Amino acid sequence: MISNLIAHLRTLLATLQRLLHTPAASFLNITIIGIALSLPVGGYVLLKSLQQLGGGLSSTPQISLYLAADTSASEVARIGEKLKQHAAIEHIDFISRSDALQHLQQASGLADVTGGLNRNPLPDAYIVQPKLNDAMALESLRDELNNWPHLEQVQLDSAWAHRLQALIRFGRWTVVILAALLSFALVAITFNTIRLQILTRREEIEVTKLIGANDSFIRRPFLYFGFIQGLFGGIAAWMIVSASTLLLNLALDDLALLYSSHISLASLSLADSFTLLGFSAYLGWLGAWFSVSQHLWQIEPR
């Protein structure tokens, strides 16, 4: 077993030397692979950032009920009791006109402007949390509440969440399709590279077969070459995505300061990074295996 391990190690070192003997061609192949892989990985990072943005905001569906300005205090209390007894409602919160105005002054910094108003223009409101998260049930509850008296406006606040989820689903399928197409391109690049190497080393392979080497021994350096090229391509993709994320986050920091918020793109986690490297190395090995399987049997000693 030790001798077999030493043989694999020697083949690996010889493959690395062969890769370094053609630095220009190797660099171009690795760069192309890195750019191809960085596109779906960049899309994955963007989707991950959108999911974190959606998770940071309230994902619980809510319905906002704005009462008419002439609604009496007794009517406001009666509506609150009716909402509490509704079978489809989990919880309610009441926001008075004065609390809403105070929150507006603190959030917008327009205390001087709102302080000069003759009366409070904001209505009393109830924030309703339904029991069900189904879109049809939410819309049905919204339409029912919209027919209640003394309610000026009924707004379903979770519409943005449904749009965001639909956008994320669309983006996820886009990334999957893009990843599949570019993975095929990576396999094709490795396939063609190994095919050229086999043709270039045809005489060497014939001599190796004459002295009794089996196909497994001859196939080994080509498979290692595809594996290493794919691995280096994955490292290049990781570097491209990480550098792009860092630069974009610097630009987003300046933009976030203008809106007094924090916006940033998610970075690749340790698990994401190892998955990328392992997947790219496997694709390189797969392309080499296909190429060797198709071309190696055609070479026989003369």
> Could you state, in order of their start, the residue ranges of all structural domains in the chain?
2-57+162-298, 63-157
pLDDT of residue 239: 95
pLDDT of residue 139: 80
pTM across the whole model: 0.65
Residue 10 clears pLDDT 70, i.e. is over it: yes
CB-based burial, 63-80: b 16+ in 10 Å, e otherwise = bebbbeeebeeeebeebe
pLDDT of residue 113: 47
Partners of 154 in beta bridges: 65
pLDDT of residue 122: 77
Q: In this structure, which CATH number among 3.30.70.3040, 3.30.43.10, 1.20.1050.10, 3.40.250.10 belongs to the domain 63-157?
A: 3.30.70.3040
Residue 291 clears pLDDT 80, i.e. is over it: yes
Rounded CA-CA distance 292/72 in Å is: 84
More confident residue, 4 or 250: 250
pLDDT one-digit tens code per residue, 125-175: 888 888 876 667 778 888 888 889 888 888 886 666 667 677 778 888 888
Query: How is residue 297 written in tokens?
Result: 């049997």
Rounded CA-CA distance 109/24 in Å is: 60
Give the H or E element holding residue 3. helix 2-21
Instruction: Scan for tokens 């043709």, then name that residue.
Output: 199
CA atoms within 13 A on the CB side of 2: 0
More confident residue, 241 or 8: 241
pLDDT one-digit tens code per residue, 220-245: 888 888 899 999 999 999 999 999 99
pLDDT of residue 274: 94
pLDDT of residue 196: 85
pLDDT of residue 104: 61
66-72 average pLDDT score: 85
Query: How is residue 126 written in tokens?
Result: 């109830």
Mean pLDDT rounded to a whole number for the chain: 80
Measured at the CA of 254, the angle between CA 250 and CA 258, to 5 degrees, comes to 155
Contact (Cβ atoms closer than 8 angstroms) between residue 232 and residue 267 = no
pLDDT one-digit tens code per residue, 250-266: 877 776 666 556 677 88
Contact (Cβ atoms closer than 8 angstroms) between residue 63 and residue 89 = no
